[in-house]
Every structure is written in C-alpha cells, then in structure tokens.
Amino acid sequence: MRILLTGASGQLGRSLQRVLRDSDLITISRPEYDITKETIVDRICSIEPDIVIHTAAKTDVDECERDPESAYLVNATATKFIATACASCHARLVYISTDYVFDGSKHDSYNEEDPPGPINVYGKTKLAGEKYTQDLVSRNYVIRTAWLYGEGQNNFVKKILGLTGKPPIKVVTTQIGSPTSADDLALAIDKLVQFPEYGIYHLTNEGVCSRFEMAEAILQFSNLGDVPIQPISIYERPAPIPSRIVLKNKRAAALGIVLRPWREALRSFVECQ
Ligand SMILES: NC(=O)c1ccc[n+]([C@@H]2O[C@H](COP(=O)([O-])OP(=O)(O)OC[C@H]3O[C@@H](n4cnc5c(N)ncnc54)[C@H](OP(=O)(O)O)[C@@H]3O)[C@@H](O)[C@H]2O)c1
C-alpha cells in the first residue's frame, strides 16, 4: 500500500513518518510541491498513492485571523486540490481536522455527529477542508483532534518550558480541552486506516484539563523545581477561542482505538525533552 503524506515536517507529520517507516511512504513538501497550486492534482496522481494522509495546514490560529485569505488557500483550497487528486486516482483520503470546528458552547462533550459552528477563521477554513474532503472523496476519514504537541518548536509544551526562569508564567484557566500527543495520534491513525469504516472521527488523548492545569503538569513533569505560575482568566489575542471543547471518541472507540489519558502521554513527552 503506497501512502502519500503532506505536512511531513510538522508535528504530526514527523510522528507519522516514524510510525509508517516500514511502509511504502512518500512525503511531499514545499517548495518542491506546492499544494496551493492546481498542478498538484496531476502531480499527486502521478505518484499513484493508495491513501493520502493530509496533515499540512496553516495551524497558527492568530495568524489565520490576521490573514484569512492565506488561511483559506492553505486549509480549504489546497484540501480541495488534494481531494480532487484522490477522487481522480481512487485513493482514500485522511484529512486531519480540529476541535475548533465547534464553538465551545455545548456543556457536554461533542460527538462526531454534532453540528459544527466555528467561531474563528482557522476553524472555518478547516471546516471548509472537511467539506471538500467529504464531497469529493467517498472513502474519506475526517479526524478531528485538539491541542497537539510533538517534535518541533511550535507547541504549548515548548512555550511553557521556554518561559521558565522569567517572571511568573501566566496561563488561562478558562480554556478547557484535551492535550494530545502527536505520537499517540499517529499510532491511532495507522490503526484506523486498517478499517474500511469511513467518516468523521474524534481522536484526542483521554481526559480534559484547562490550559493552566496543562502548564502545571508540564512544569511538574519537567523537574525544573518550583517555577512560579499564575492563573489568569483573560488572555487578549487576535482570534476568538472557544472556551471548552471536549471531543468524545465514540466511533474509533467502537473499533478498539482509544488514546491513553492525557497526563500519561504528556509525562512521557516532557520527560524526553
Ligand atoms: N497543532 C494543534 O494544536 C492542532 C490541533 C487540532 C488539529 N490540528 C491539525 O492537525 C494537523 C497537523 O498539525 P501540526 O500541529 O502537526 O501542524 P504543524 O506542526 O504546524 O505543521 C504544519 C505542516 O503543514 C505544512 N504547511 C503549512 N503551509 C503549507 C503550504 N502552504 N504548503 C505546504 N505545506 C504547508 C508545514 O510545512 P512547512 O514546514 O514547510 O511550514 C508543516 O509541515 C493540521 O491539519 C492541523 O490543522 C492541529
């Protein structure tokens, strides 16, 4: 089975490369492959993939808010091209989406069939990517995840560790979600694509916490001693952020795919930093 991976240099892309190292894996990345140009359709088809795992995205939520055109181009239009390629060469498509397709107003957890309602540009453009995936490719997996961390510099774990030794770290208690290890998610994706059961999936590490609780756990696991940390309720930023999103994993759990509790996964990651 030939697997084509986009976003190979990203957090999840790197984890998938490790998990799929014994597979017939082909990665495409810029500048050699520009997924925002329609020519990518034929170029993907010429590789003759059986499955495309599309992780590439503009993931900086505030940057998406500042530059919605570029966010739409990368998250939606490029996904349309990739889905068009999959339809034309009969490949299955795995599209990685986000908890931010929801607005966070539901008091309970979100099921796979709950109606989305994004409140920021990132969420809107990722939802548009979901729609292209579903409309163009019948054999699709739309995998929504949240609060990803993995190899790379651009995640909450690295941010918190980079702030130690300075004045008290201020972290919000008002954002609630599920921290998710890119390595754990990559393993789950590898298992999921063994099943010809298509559609939307919710995959995060199990459990839920606030950003403040996550920061406390990072500091605790890093053994850096007593680092001052201060809970705050408001953090001004360009993008509106949903206050509480918990993704309920119903469909993958029915196939026996459940990620471990978030604390356990976070501990393993932080101890290796
Ligand atoms: N990070 C999170 O907390 C989070 C939460 C929920 C869902 N997700 C979703 O999970 C997926 C993986 O996220 P991640 O955190 O692993 O992402 P990431 O570390 O930010 O990596 C993004 C990847 O996309 C590539 N990319 C960005 N713009 C591109 C373009 N114009 N053309 C080609 N490639 C481009 C990047 O390539 P370069 O190295 O060339 O920039 C990089 O490989 C994404 O689809 C994201 O929407 C992420």
The reported pLDDT for the residue numbered 219 is 94
Ligand 1 test: best mutation among 15, 39, 55, 141, most atoms within 8 Å of CB?
A: 55
pTM score: 0.97
The reported pLDDT for the residue numbered 10 is 96
**Residue 30 near ligand 1, beta carbon < 6 Å:** yes
Ligand 1 mean position, distance from CA 9 (Å): 8
pLDDT one-digit tens code per residue, 125-177: 999 999 999 999 999 999 999 999 999 888 999 999 998 877 899 999 999 99
The pLDDT value recorded for residue 246 is 98
Q: Which pLDDT score, from 0 to 100, does residue 234 have?
A: 87
Q: Which pair of structure tokens corresponds to residue 265? A: 């996964």
The pLDDT, as a whole number, for residue 186 is 98
Residue 41 CB less than 6 A away from ligand 1: no
Measure 54 CA to ligand 1 centroid, in angstroms: 9
**Does the beta carbon of 56 sit less than 6 angstroms from any atom of ligand 1?**
yes
Atom of ligand 1 at shortest distance to CA of 33? 33
Residues 126, 111: contact at Cβ < 8 Å? no
pLDDT, one tens digit for every residue, the chain (273 residues): 999 999 999 999 999 999 999 999 999 999 999 999 999 999 999 999 999 999 999 999 999 999 999 999 999 999 999 999 999 999 999 999 999 999 999 999 999 999 999 999 999 999 999 999 999 999 999 999 999 999 988 899 999 999 887 789 999 999 999 999 999 999 999 999 999 999 999 999 999 999 999 999 999 999 887 888 999 998 889 999 999 999 999 999 999 999 999 999 999 999 998
Q: Which atom of ligand 1 is nearest to the CA of 13?
A: 16
Closest ligand 1 atom to Cα of 73: 31
Residue 168 CA, ligand 1 centroid: distance in Å = 30
Q: What is the pLDDT of residue 165?
A: 78
Strand duo 92-98 + 51-54: pairing: parallel
Asked if 205 contacts 143 with a C-beta cutoff of 8 angstroms, the reply is no
33: closest CA among 72, 75, 82?
Answer: 82
**Distance from CA of residue 113 to its chain's centroid?**
19
Q: Which residue has the tokens 């921290």?
A: 179
Half-sphere exposure of 258 (CA within 13 A, CB side): 10
Catalytically annotated residues = 122
The residue nearest atom 17 of ligand 1, judged by CA position, is: 10
The residue contributing the CA closest to ligand 1 atom 40 is 30
Is the distance from the beta carbon of residue 145 to the nearest atom of ligand 1 less than 6 Å? yes
Give the ranges where the chain is alpha helix by DSSP (H): 11-19, 40-47, 61-66, 68-72, 78-89, 121-136, 156-162, 182-192, 211-222, 251-254, 262-271
The string over 99-134, giving b where at least 16 C-beta atoms fall within 10 Å of a residue's C-beta and e elsewhere, is bbbbbbeeeebbebebebebbbbbbbbbbbbbebbb
Per-residue confidence (pLDDT) for residue 166, from 0 to 100: 74
If you measure from the C-alpha of residue 57 to the centroid of ligand 1, how many angstroms do you get, rounded to a whole number? 4
The b-or-e profile of 158-170 (16+ CB within 10 A means b, else e) is: eebbebeeeeebe
Is ligand 1 within 6 A of the CB of residue 220?
Answer: no
| pLDDT tens digit sequence for 8-31 | 999 999 999 999 999 999 999 999
> Could you tell me if the CB of 159 is within 6 A of ligand 1?
no
On whether the CB atoms of residues 27 and 13 are closer than 8 A, the answer is: yes
Q: Are 244 and 104 in contact (CB under 8 A)?
A: yes
Q: Could you identify the atom of ligand 1 that is nearest to the CA of residue 9?
A: 43
Rounded distance between C-alpha atoms, residue 185 and residue 38, angstroms: 29
Distance between Cα 79 and ligand 1 center (Å): 12
